[in-house]
Amino acid sequence: MEVAILIYDRFTALDAVGPYEVLRLIPGARVSFAAREKGPQRTDAGSLAIVADFEIEEIDAPDIVVIPGGPGQSALMDDTRVLDWVRKVHSTTRWTTSVCTGSLVLAAAGLLKGLRATSHWLALEVLRKYGAEPTTERVVTQGKIITAAGVSAGIDMALTLVALECGEDVAQSIQLGIEYDPKPPFNAGSPEKAPAAIVDALRSRSRFLFQNLEGKASKADSN
């Protein structure tokens, strides 16, 4: 089972590492981190770098592909080299997946048209511009495409995938191995649950970023 995780400058680390920690435990799995260029890819905060051991073209037929999100994903949405690679690997994957705004890359590659899909809660309207049907579900499975909500949702997505691919026993064993019995100290992990003032503050802080992405999506759509 070949697992490819796409990374790039200004990705969000947990988007990639949550699924990695689950998928690497699939019996017989081999995980490869791939990027446009080999070498360290810095996260959005700049303080963490994960090494891409492969250029994307070196990975041509993964069984599972994971596209994490992060601010740098904006530069992938109109990068024909990346979009071509995503379409190519998708044609033979067993599972094509995304975490957070990674789904915007799938959308930009034209893979989500007419499908239900999710993303970070702040990015759902961008999905709509690409012709997807955004939902606030945490993990959305449509055929072989699985999209996850923001950042930490990649763990739930990967466990869902393992259960579909390898059965519930394997998924439960992995869940136990990573002791995934979450107890968040607050009930504030979604815009429906968090205090309104906190939701509004985050929305307003990131308005510019997501307006830009919507603009990019509209432009792509009219091309």
Report how far residue 153's alpha carbon sits from residue 176's, in angstroms, rounded to the nearest whole number: 17
Shortest Å, Cβ 215 to a second copy? 23
Closest to a second copy by CB, 92 or 172: 172
DSSP labels, 131-158: T-EE---SEEEETTEEEE-STTHHHHHH
Catalytic residue among 100, 108, 109, 112: 100
Q: Does 67 bind a second copy (CB under 8 A)?
A: no
**What angle, rounded to 10 degrees, do the helices at 207-222 and 196-205 form?**
60
- Pattern 80-119, a second copy, x by CB under 8 A: --------------------x-------------------
Q: In sequence order, which residues have a C-beta less than 8 Å from that of residue 28 and are 6 or more positions away?
A: 1
Return the residue of 185, 204, 222, 223 that touches a second copy, per CB under 8 A: 185
Enter the tokens of residue 76: 């992938």
Q: Does 155 bind a second copy (CB under 8 A)?
A: yes
Task: Kindly list the distances between the CA atom of residue 146 and the CA atoms of 52, 158, 193, in Å, as whole numbers in the listed order.
Answer: 23, 9, 24
Return the residue of 6, 11, 12, 111 that touches a second copy, per CB under 8 A: 12
Q: Does 11 bind a second copy (CB under 8 A)?
A: no
Task: Kindly list the distances between the CA atom of residue 27 and the CA atoms of 64, 123, 152, 182, in Å, as whole numbers in the listed order.
Answer: 14, 34, 23, 24
Report how far residue 172's alpha carbon sits from residue 58's, in angstroms, rounded to the nearest whole number: 32
Which helix (H) or strand (E) segment holds residue 202: the answer is: helix 196-205
Q: Does 13 bind a second copy (CB under 8 A)?
A: yes
> Could you confirm whether 100 is annotated as catalytic?
yes
Q: Does 191 bind a second copy (CB under 8 A)?
A: yes
Q: Does 51 bind a second copy (CB under 8 A)?
A: yes
Q: Does 30 bind a second copy (CB under 8 A)?
A: yes
The amino acid occupying position 122 is L
Shortest Å, Cβ 220 to a second copy? 25
Provide the binding-site residues for a second copy, judged by CB under 8 A.
Answer: 12-14, 17-18, 20-21, 24, 30-33, 40, 45, 47-51, 53, 100, 120-121, 138-139, 149-153, 155-156, 159-160, 163, 168-169, 171-173, 175-186, 188-191, 193-195, 198-199, 201-202
Catalytic residues: 100
